[in-house]
Amino acid sequence: MASPCEVLLDGTDEALVRELGALAAGEAWRIEGKYSRYRDDSVIGRIHRCADQEMELDPETAALIDFAAQCHEISEGLFDITSGVLRRAWKFDGSDRLPTPAAVQALLPCVGFQKLTWRSPRLTRPAGMELDLGGIGKEYAVDRVHDLLAARTSLPLLVNFGGDLRADRARPQGAWQIGIERPDTERKAALVLELQRGALATSGDARRFLLKDGVRYGHILDPRTGWPVVGAPRSVTVAASSCTEAGQLSTLAMLQGAGARQFLEAQEVRYWIVD
């Protein structure tokens, strides 16, 4: 998941908590392994070896692609799991090396969910296109791990994968205290939120950005242009009942760029923006 992942369980039975922790870790690794871009044996690896050919996907993957399709439609093309190829032009290492417009332009023909042939569970991927579930995988894993543990125990639990988190119920002594870090000073939390139950997801450019001539280029790219969204806040945190929903709302907000705050106001969700 490329971030520290933890599960907090408030209980006194050590054996049970260890067992639940192992279950959580197992599920997280399963999802990561299945959808990792870096592994040949992952489902994504299999999809990428199979160009211009119809392939049948397993129910879990089909459900994820269905979700990505709906998000693509809801966002009118802003959210796109095929935009991963743009990473070849963009390296968000904190430097000032922007790609050339030509390099970005060359990749655009391979971007666009509508170019896939998708009729669940059958997918045809044109050669050159890539699928990247990084935008939904982590939040999905949080929800899956949460549901797995919540079905097995009534202990208060909090699943936190690198800032995308979900709590089942508050502890007897009070709500979970969540610190939202400020993007440029990693230690001191900018805000402390109290969460009884529900999910929080954060989108931000805290660690992945380019800085040139005083202009900050966040890693959230507009798939229609191939360039980073302009004027996006440094980080957006959204609260919702599932991490998947919260993650999508925070990503869509960031994709609005300067219009993030207005977008979130219109959704009537609880949100926190760090500019």
Q: Which residues bind to other proteins, rule: CB under 8 A?
A: 11-16, 20, 23, 26-27, 30, 59-60, 63-64, 66-67, 70-71, 74, 76, 78, 140, 143-144, 147-148, 150-156, 168-169, 172-174, 240-242, 244-245, 248-249, 255-256, 259, 263, 266-269
- CB of residue 248 to other proteins, shortest distance in Å: 6
- CB of residue 184 to other proteins, shortest distance in Å: 25
Q: What is the sign of the dihedral through the CA atoms of 204, 209, 211 and 215?
A: negative
d(CA 144, CA 91): 31
DSSP H helices, 176-242, are none
Contact 252, 79 (CB under 8 A): yes
CB-nearer residue toward other proteins: 50 or 269: 269
Tell me the residue type at 111: V
**C-beta atoms surrounding 77 within 10 Å:** 13
Contact 220, 229 (CB under 8 A): yes
- CB of residue 270 to other proteins, shortest distance in Å: 12
ω into 156 cis (within 30 of 0): no
- CB of residue 86 to other proteins, shortest distance in Å: 18
CB-nearer residue toward other proteins: 105 or 241: 241
CB-nearer residue toward other proteins: 110 or 255: 255
CB-nearer residue toward other proteins: 78 or 206: 78
